[in-house]
Chains A and B, each alone.
Chain A
Amino acid sequence: MFIRKAPDLTCADVTPKSVYLDRREFLRAMGIVGATAAAGKGLFELAWPSKTAFAATKLTGLAKSPFSTSEKQNTYEDVTHYNNFYEFGTDKSDPAKNSKNFNTSSWTVSVEGEVNKPHKFSMEEILKIAPLEERIYRHRCVEAWSIVVPWIGFSFSNLVKLVEPTPKAQFVAFQSYFDARQMPQAKYAGIDFPYVEGLRMDEAMNPLALLGVGMYGETLPNQDGAPVRMVLPWKYGFKSVKSLVKIKFQEKMPPTTWNRLASNEYGFYANVNPTVDHPRWSQAKERRLGEVFKRTTLMFNGYGDQVAGMYSGMDLKKNY
């Protein structure tokens, strides 16, 4: 049990989250939301009235995980108000501001490609694939900052087994949701959307690879990749696709967003590696949010025991 720091005053924070969400549910049930929207909340809410359908529901009955770290967790406030989600803007505070009305209702994740059982999963189906676990992972951004987050989800391998990949499936391609109308800030990001990422099959099957559906005991907030995302703690943060809509199993290595922008700076593997610097800055150290001085970055972000074997014999200076 941890205690949340009182957040800075923003409109959404004046009222405790649980209270205002409940109230919104209540108002919608009463059919008042439409009237409020017309009264000045904007056409956006009218167009997507059920936007909170999946927001901040408590997730209970979580199993503990042996992969969890005992390190001090970052506050919910820090994790939800300092992150990258370029679809909603490039400043660290932009995702929280610009994703408030992001519509995640009737979400589906299409699993396709080299599989025997392609399927379009609803969120309800995803939540039933495997028992939910809480996994407290270190998260290291390529920009040399890091956080400790109590994620909720299950090993991605559970989903993989369900769709039965064919022997041709060597790689998994991931795609984030993109809608220019809901994400008007994206046009300034300087990267192409939809955001795409990929893993080698053995990486995808590694038990550490988490299909995340929540954090801090509840469903994912919009700015952290609601309603479902990948969490790959031994890789730089940009590998962990947010707001996942498509998973494709394929024979060829898939293109990845940052690699397409600058292949000399961002490789396909993007494993956390303090000995291989980003061409423009050092990766030897990182700043854990909440700390002033930088701490040493660990090889594979400290998950070497679980993942190092997958890369034995590979030149990690070339395959960065």
Chain B
Amino acid sequence: MRALLISKWTKVSVFLLCLVPFGELVWRIIKSELGANPVEFLQHATGDWTLRFLIFTLSITPFRKLFNLPDLIRFRRMLGLFAFFYVSLHFLTYLGPDQSFDLSGMWKDVAKRPFITMGFAAFVLLIPLAMTSTAGWIRRLGGKRWQLLHRSIYVAAVCGVIHYYWLVKSDVRKPLFYGAIVATLLLWRLGDWFFKRRSQAPVRITAPGVSVNG
């Protein structure tokens, strides 16, 4: 298993797999197989894939620990960057066809529509993460600070789910499905952190005769 995970070819294969949804969209554009509302089709597809890649990225740590596969870390940055790739395409389908590349109109929309605000917040939160994804930036920021910054992916994923939930009219099954997965992945982290803290906590010795209330 380990040999497979650290193989260069596995990484190349995963990279190509991550490009399949993009390739499918390009293929559909060329063949004009995007249905009656092509813009909406592209918006929904890129939005879906953003949420999926955020979920893949957030799954790496739990899977590493639960299945004792530390080498999975080799794929986390790539998956995260693909989430950013798809969210950028998603943003472009909004800025272009919906807002006609009019930035002032876009800002008004971002300020006025809660579901756009949420989606935009998620996008903006992911920008520094993509920028500081290199080894050089980890060194420059220091591991602790870098990790703290990159925890904003939790917030971005939650914003992304709310963005979707606020968009739909009445059938909330799909946003709730994504929401349940993101919630599970975040709750696992909370549980992991809690149990680790308990097992590592130093034994507290309270001096006799000292009352907490003074």
Using a CB–CB distance below 8 Å, which chain A residues touch chain B? 8, 74, 77-79, 81-82, 86, 90, 92-93, 143, 145, 188-191, 261, 280-282, 287, 289-290, 292-294
CB contact between A280 and one of B35, B167, B171, B173 (< 8 Å): that residue? B167
B206 at the interface (CB under 8 A from A): no
Report the minimum CB–CB distance from B37 to chain A (whole Å).
6
Residue of B nearest to A265 (CB): B169
**A residues within 8 A CB of B37?**
82, 92, 145, 287, 289
Inter-chain contact A282/B109, CB cutoff 8 Å: yes
Main secondary structure of the interface of B (DSSP, over half): helix
Contacts A92-B35, A93-B35, A145-B37 aside, 15 further interface pairs with beta carbons under 8 A come to A78-B36, A79-B36, A82-B35, A82-B36, A86-B170, A90-B171, A188-B171, A189-B171, A190-B169, A280-B114, A280-B115, A280-B166, A281-B113, A282-B109, A289-B37
Asked if B190 is at the interface (CB within 8 A of a chain A CB), the reply is: no
Contact A289 B36 (CB under 8 A): yes
A161 to B71, CA, bound (A): 78
In this complex, how many residues of chain B approach chain A with their Cβ under 8 Å: the count is: 22
Q: Which of A77, A92, A190 meets B170, CB within 8 Å?
A: A190
B89 at the interface (CB under 8 A from A): no
Give A81 to B36 CA distance when docked, in angstroms: 7
The answer to whether the Cβ of B100 comes within 8 Å of any Cβ in the partner chain is yes
Q: How far is the CA of A108 from the CA of B115 in the complex (A)?
A: 43
Residues of chain B having any CB pair with chain A under 8 Å: 33, 35-40, 97-98, 100, 109, 112-115, 166-167, 169-173
* CA A282 to CA B85, docked complex, whole Å: 27
Distance of A79 Cα from B169 Cα, bound (Å): 21
Across-interface contacts of B170 in A (CB, < 8 A): 86, 90, 189-191, 261
Closest CB in chain A relative to B36 CB, distance in Å: 3
Chain B residues with CB under 8 Å of A93's CB are 35
- Chain B nearest CB from A256 CB (Å) reads 14
Complex Cα gap A114–B185 (Å): 59
User: Closest chain A residue to B167 by CB distance?
Assistant: A280
How many Å lie between the Cα of A280 and that of B97 in the bound state?
19
**A261 surroundings in chain B (CB, below 8 A):** 170
CB distance from A10 to the nearest CB of B (A): 12
Query: How distant is the Cα of A62 from the Cα of B166 in the complex, in angstroms?
Result: 44
Distance between Cα atoms of A115 and B10 in the complex (Å): 75
> Which chain A residue shows the least CB distance to B115?
A280
- In the complex, A92→B169 CA distance in Å? 13
A-B pairs, top 4 by smallest CB distance, nearest first, are A190-B170, A82-B36, A90-B171, A78-B36
Taking CB as reference atom, which chain B residue is nearest A294?
Answer: B98
A287–B39 CB distance below 8 A: yes
Residue of chain B at shortest CB distance from A280? B115
Cβ-neighbour of A293 out of B40, B100, B167, B172 (below 8 A): B100
CB-defined contacts of A8 to chain B, threshold 8 Å: 33
Q: Specify which chain B residues have a CB less than 8 angstroms from the CB of A290 in the assembled complex.
A: 36
Give the CA-CA distance A282 to B114 in the complex, in Å: 12
One of A143, A289, A292, A294 near B169 (C-beta < 8 A): A143
Inter-chain contacts of A78 with B (CB < 8 A): 36
Partner of A190, one of B38, B97, B112, B171: B171
Q: Which residues of B lie under 8 Å from residue A189 when comparing CB positions?
A: 170-171
Q: Which residue from chain B places its CB closest to the CB of A84 in the assembled complex?
A: B169
Chain A residues whose CB sits within 8 angstroms of the CB of B100 once the complex forms: 293-294
A271 CB to nearest chain B CB (Å): 19
A74 nearest CB neighbor, chain B only? B36
Bound form: Cα–Cα A191–B170 in Å: 7
Chain B minimum-CB-distance residue to A79: B36
Q: Is the CB of A190 within 8 A of B166?
A: no
What are some 20 contacts across the A-B interface (CB < 8 A)? A8-B33, A74-B36, A81-B35, A82-B36, A90-B171, A92-B35, A143-B169, A188-B171, A189-B170, A189-B171, A191-B170, A261-B170, A280-B115, A280-B167, A281-B113, A289-B36, A289-B37, A292-B38, A292-B39, A294-B97
